[in-house]
Structure 1
Amino acid sequence: MIRKAEVKDIFYIVKLEKKVFNQSLGEKFILQELIDNPFSHYFVYERGNEVIGYIGFRVYDNQAEMMNFAVLPDHQNEGLGTELLTYTTNYLIDLKVKMMTLEVRKSNKKAQHIYEKIGFKVSHIRKKYYENEDGYVCIKEVK
């Protein structure tokens, strides 16, 4: 089930990020996003009582920027990432968003494949965006 993220989910989101990325945006950052940032929209994919994926956006006017997106490794290749992206795209359409952007590591071919599948196109490269690795900036028009 996909639902809006709540404060009770922060521990699980941080744990998920560390498992997927070996680092996390951190509890404080995510708490601020959920509580204090009116532009933030975060969702979790919950199965049973376990958060197995999540996605977060910031929406400004008619544009949305993906902040982070992850699915636990044991649940990858089950279509959950595509499901989360489709769900949030429809949510953003309801908010009148016209364009979505995101950054993805140049080496993250799995994520690039998912983004491409749902219509993101590489716009340009941000050199050393991820410390020692370049990032692709991807854009998708929302229709």
Structure 2
Amino acid sequence: MTYKDIEEVAMIEKKSFTLPWTIDIYEKELTENSYAHYYVVEKNDKIIGFCGVWIVIDEAQITNIAILPDYRGQNYGVGLFQYIINQVIASGVRRLSLEVRVSNIIAQRLYRKFGLKPAGIRKNYYTDNNEDAIVMWVDL
């Protein structure tokens, strides 16, 4: 992901999440956060998905991942997640984690395909509706 991709990524955020990150947050992630790494998926020169990950020493945290609704169910998310796994392993990461809404069964299924397992609950994690988040981890 480059600086010029931020507006398209922010649009995907708005179409995917009830609490989307702002353009300002992405600008700071790309310019000020040395732990942040962001990747996009393109089809016909159009960004259709993205993923962010923070890498700190030998652990990685997925910050967000989304595919445009019209492209879901076509394995773009699987391909993107596999790419992220490969990237973090190449960076020396040994553990990967993320949070996912308890209601987001489709995402949980994807993460389980890559070996992530529930490790805990963050109560009232999502401020839009106080939904809990499942913390999922995998040793790489």
Instruction: Tell whether the structures are fold-level matches, with TM greater than 0.5.
Output: yes
Give the alignment of 1:123-142 within 5 angstroms.
123-131=119-127, 132-142=130-140
Query: Within 2, Cα distance between the matches of 1:97 and 1:13?
Result: 25
Q: Cα offset for 1:23?
A: 3.5
1:13-40: CA deviation from partner (whole Å, max 9, x where unpaired): 1100100113421111111111111110
1:36 aligns with 2:32: yes
Aligned match for 2:58, one of 55, 62, 87: 62
1:122 aligns with 2:118: yes
Aligned match for 1:6, one of 2, 9, 15: 2
Q: Cα offset for 1:52?
A: 0.5
Query: Within 2, Cα distance between the matches of 1:41 and 1:141?
Result: 20
* Structure 2 residue matching 1:91: 3-state secondary structure: helix
* Structure 1 residue matching 2:92: 3-state secondary structure: coil
Give, as a single letter, the amino acid of the residue that structure 1 aligns with 2:17. Answer: F
1:33-71: CA deviation from partner (whole Å, max 9, x where unpaired): 111111101000011121100000000000001110000
Query: Within 1, Cα distance between the matches of 2:3 and 2:137?
Result: 29
* Structure 2 residue matching 1:24: 3-state secondary structure: coil
- State the partner residue of 2:96: 100
- State the partner residue of 2:84: 88
Query: Within 2, Cα distance between the matches of 1:22 and 1:46?
Result: 23
Query: Within 2, Cα distance between the matches of 1:97 and 1:55?
Result: 17
Give, as a single letter, the amino acid of the residue that structure 2 aligns with 1:140. Answer: V
1:50 aligns with 2:54: no
Q: Cα offset for 1:92?
A: 0.6
| Structure 1 vs Structure 2 CA RMSD | 0.8
- State the partner residue of 2:15: 19
Long gaps (5+) in structure 2 = none
Long gaps (5+) in structure 1 = none
* Structure 2 residue matching 1:107: 3-state secondary structure: coil
Query: Within 2, Cα distance between the matches of 1:111 and 1:40?
Result: 22
* Structure 1 residue matching 2:70: 3-state secondary structure: helix
Q: Percent identity?
A: 36
